Structure 1
Amino acid sequence: MNRTTLDALTAFPDQLEAHYAAIPDGFTHWAPPSWEGVPSEALTALEQVCHVRDIEIEGYHVRFHRTLNEDHPTLVSIDTDALVRERAYDTADAAAALAAFRAARARTVALIAGLAPGQFDRTAVFEGYGPLTLRSLVHYLCSHDQQHLAGLQWLLGKIDASRAAVRH
């Protein structure tokens, strides 16, 4: 796997934690009046953290395992909205979610770093993405990370805009 992608995956837990910490007090559950233009799923800051944790564990860990151990499996997408409701993301403990994510990501990075070059060529079909290799899946995970950093930055912009509107 290329070093740039592996380094980005390794750095992401710190980046996620820092971006979440940048959310002002009282705004971790805040939602804008419109989600138009959001670069990630339409999730509050706390929901973003919970989503990233659950997708890492129940999405990507399962997808990597199946791609490595099954012949050309079909990998399912996860219904984010259902998880938000079922797991009551709005009542989650952010510190616990971030810690669980950090541990899960460490397992992900260890798995990827330990793979033989040929294992990255194993194939699957990912619902909504189509045919891919394990290497593709690693890139999609990295892309997913970046979408959620962008989503948190987008929320920060919306929060600031909402505060400015109140002042004027």
Structure 2
Amino acid sequence: MLPAPVRKYLLTSVASAPEVLEALVEGISATDSVWDVRPYADRFTLREVVAHLADWEPIHKERIERILNEDEPTLPDMDEGQMAIDNDYAHQDPINCLKRYREGRKVVADLLKSLSPEQCERAGIRPPNLGRLDLDQFATFIFAHDGYHLQQAAEYRKG
């Protein structure tokens, strides 16, 4: 279990990630070409990053709820590339996706903040590469995932 001050910092960071992303893209119109620049063949464009983050919020919520209600449920791995194709990330409205991300994250952050210390010790299994994650570790994973994509957004913004 995380010490209370560490958990507070972690959950504040998880809750504020959409705000940080919005600050990074502030002033970019929905039709600006920066949304569709792909500097690396194996990474999302900025438009796709925002759609990807928005799409993960209901998945995070569902996984947290499963961990709370089931004994160490197996949480299926997701094919992010296939999600991007299935949900047409390349043509998503980034402004709408930012809104979905902000709204979805509020739900997830509020749920994480409501957990008791005992609930934070509940875990799920994330094969193939993450293994057993308790809810504090799951929140840390969300934070790390955000950080990866926020760094990407900052890099794309610089051009």
Normalised by the length of structure 1, the TM-score is 0.83
- Taking every aligned residue pair, what percent have the same amino acid on both sides? 27
* Ranges in structure 2 where 5+ consecutive residues have no aligned partner: none
Q: CA deviation at 1:154?
A: 2.7
Cα distance in 2 between the residues matched to 1:21 and 1:85: 26
Measure, in 1, the Cα distance between the counterparts of 2:77 and 2:37. Answer: 26
Which residue does 1:30 correspond to in 2?
Answer: 37
Equivalent position of 2:50 in the other structure: 49
Question: C-alpha distance in 1, partners of 2:109/2:56?
Answer: 15
Residue 108 of structure 1 and its aligned partner are, at CA, apart by: 0.8
Moved over 4 A (4+): none
For the aligned residues, what is the CA RMSD?
1.8
User: What SS does the corresponding residue of 2:34 show, helix, strand or coil?
Assistant: coil
**Alpha-carbon shift at residue 130 of structure 1 (Å):** 0.8
Provide the residue aligned with 2:15 in structure 1. 10
Query: How big is the shift at 1:115?
Result: 1.1
Q: C-alpha deviations, 1:2-53, integer Å up to 9, x for none?
A: 1110110121111011223366832101112x45xxxxx7100010000001
Structure 2 counterpart SS, 1:110: helix
Distance 1:83 1:124 in 2: 22
- Give the unaligned 5+ runs of structure 1: 36-40, 160-168
Does residue 130 in structure 1 map to residue 139 in structure 2?
A: no
**How many residues in Structure 1 have an aligned counterpart in Structure 2?**
151
